[in-house]
Amino acid sequence: MGLDEHAFSPSVIQRIVTAAARFSSFRDAACAVQMAGITISVNQVRRLAHEVGHELIAQRDRNVIEHRRRRLEPRTAVVPEAVVVEIDGGRIRTRVADSGPGVHEAQNKEDKVACLATLTGPTFGADPCPEPPESFQCPRRVQRLVAQMKGQAGETPA
């Protein structure tokens, strides 16, 4: 039946853990789950969230090892026509770990996010737009655009 020592079915555990991930506290997650008619305490939500989190971390680590050994099965049998990797970075505020509620020793750190996407579309024998758009052929406009992008990246404009 898929029951374990928690006496919750896998679908109920998924709901509980999802609530724990989406709400800002285990108390709010427990309240939301209770509104769905499931009797559970804040401590049970916390334990389940940590247990499932540790299982996911262990699975991720196993997948990393299998990936490095080139033993993972492909997720799809279809080879995409084209792929693109989008990468972005930004700044996040962090605080010292294990310091209790509130912000302690706040720091700015850089995060990196990547997305792998598959693409499909028409193919062409030659470049359908061999020349850059007109807006990119004006040197002053390009210089202004680059200066604006520098300011958005957090650098001080010269």
**pLDDT tens digits for range 46-66:** 999 999 999 999 999 999 999
Residue 93: what pLDDT?
78
Question: Looking at the predicted structure, is the pLDDT value of residue 1 above 50?
Answer: no
Distance from C-alpha of 123 to C-alpha of 127, rounded to nearest angstrom: 9
Q: What is the pLDDT of residues 99-150, one digit of tens each?
A: 777 777 888 888 888 999 988 888 888 988 888 888 888 899 889 888 888 7
The pLDDT tens digits for 11-50 are: 999 999 999 999 989 999 999 999 999 999 999 999 999 9
Three-class secondary structure assignment of the chain: CCCCCCCCCHHHHHHHHHHHHHCCCHHHHHHHHHHCCCCCCHHHHHHHHHHHHHHHHHHHHHHHHHHHCCCCCCCCCCCCCEEEEEEEEEEEEECCCCCCCCCCCCEEEEEEEEEEEEECCCCCCCCCCCCCCHHHCCHHHHHHHHHHHHHHCCCCCC
Q: Which residue is listed with tokens 């026509």?
A: 81
Q: Name every residue whose Cβ is closer than 8 Å to that of residue 37 and which is 6 or more positions away in sequence.
A: none
